[in-house]
Structure formats: structure tokens, C-alpha cells
Amino acid sequence: MAVTAAAAAGAGPQHYCLRWNNYQSNLTSVFDQLLQSESFVDVTLAVAGRALKAHKVILSASSPYFQTLLHDNPCGHPIVVIEDVSHADMQAIVQFMYKGEINVAEQQLPSLLKVAEALKIRGLADVPEGETVTRRAAPEPQRRQTSAEAGGSPEPAAAGRAPPQVGQTPERPPQGPAMPPGTTAEPRPAPAPSQAPAHSRASDDTEIRPAIIEMIKEEERVSSLYPDPCSRCPPGRVNSLAGDI
């Protein structure tokens, strides 16, 4: 540890600068140990049917691509599927993000740099220093445009009714009689059609007339056969059909 005293002339109390000379190397070593032991890993990279576990903070610090991806998908332990990339290239890139250096064969270099360019890996691809995650703005809700805003004419008034003038109450359609407060109008059932009695007068006349006519005919027939004897019978005698008494 190095201690440096720094004080300005005529200033207040003296300040000391404490510096850890092996900070970067120690931090790099600790990160590599956490990667090898898979301690505190919180993201998985699925590449060519195999899994590579890592830490979100390391991926975000080394790549704006991963920073934006992990920022827009706040998940506890996301699984990022990377297609068209070999497991060897992705493993080498992860090692580079943790250590800052890797050793690769010459024939692997073109494909490695191509993947690094696609994933925007700092140190292997041309990535601006100030490029960071940008929060996506939420889309504004669409507002319905009125006819006045569109520059068109207002909707025509109903046929046979003029539009209300300024200060004039628009006409209301005629309504029924006013109801007292607290009451509601209920529809009344339609009156049932009146039913004729079981024995109507027409049916009675139809049944009685033939009997009366038959009785009259019978009386006329009897009168024609046996004339009335009351006017010709002497006193003390009753003319009967059965004989004299």
C-alpha cells in the first residue's frame, strides 16, 4: 500500500491518498476464481447445446449489448440463447471479459473477432467508450382525432332537427308523464282476451229451438186429430181422450 500526503499551501487539514498497487490484478484474480467455482453466478449463456454461467455485472461492464439485454429483461437468473456461435469462441470471449486477455490459435481468430464484433465486446471490437445502455421510452398512447382537429366539417345534425343555438337548450324527445321521486315505471301486462262462457246464448238457442219447434208441431198434429171439445160439451161432462167419466 502506498501513502501519499497532499496538502495545498494555506489550506486546511492535510489529506492522504491511500492506493492499493495490486488492486487490478487482485480484482481480476478474484473474478476468475468466482467464474471457475461458479459462485454467485446469475446468468447462463446457452451456446451450441452447452451452458456457460457468468455474472451480470461482468457481462454488462464488458459489452453494451449484454448491458442493454440484461437491463431490458430484469430476471433473477436469465438464460441467454446465442445461436450460430461455437462453444469454443464463446468460452474464449467470456475468459477475455473476466481476465482482459486470452490465447487463441490463428485459425480461430477470424471467427472469434466476428463474434466479438456482433456482441460488442470492449477490447476486441470497435465500441465507443461512452456507449452505455439507454432506457427505451414507452410508446405514447394514440389519441382519437376529432373532426375539428382533422380540418373536416362537424357531423350533420339529425334530419328534421336544427342544431341548438348558443345559449339555447337542445330539444329533448317527448317523454311520458313525470314519475314521482323514488318510483320506477314497470311495464303492465297486456289484458287477456275475454273468454266466452261455457254455454253461450247462441249455443242455447241452437239447442232449445228444435225442441220448441218439435213441441209446436206435436200440438198442431194433436189438434188436427182431436179438436177441442170444450165448446160443445154439456155442463157436467168432460171430454177425455180416454172416454167419458
Placement of cell 447462463 in the chain: 44
pLDDT of residue 164: 53
Q: Determine contact, residues 31/98, Cβ cutoff 8 Å.
A: yes
Say how far residue 89 (Cα) sits from the centre of its chain. Answer: 45
Q: Where are the domains of the chain?
A: 40-119
Measure the CA–CA gap between 231 and 51, rounded to whole angstroms.
143
pLDDT of residue 225: 63
Class of domain 40-119 as given by CATH: alpha beta
Residue range 47-90, pLDDT digits in tens: 999 999 999 999 999 999 999 999 999 999 999 999 999 999 99
pLDDT of residue 216: 79
pLDDT of residue 180: 52
Q: What is the pTM of this model?
A: 0.51
Low-confidence ranges of the chain (pLDDT < 70): 1-11, 130-209, 222-245
pLDDT of residue 179: 55
- DSSP-derived secondary structure letter, 106: G
What are φ and ψ of residue 49, in 5° steps?
75, 5
Measure the CA–CA gap between 173 and 159, rounded to whole angstroms.
14
Q: Determine contact, residues 155/144, Cβ cutoff 8 Å.
A: no
The DSSP H or E segment spanning 70 is helix 64-72
The DSSP H or E segment spanning 112 is helix 109-119
CA distances to 15, 17, 20, 21, 105 from 4, in Å: 9, 5, 12, 13, 44
Q: Is 119 exposed, middle or buried (0-12, 13-18, 19+ CB in 10 A)?
A: buried
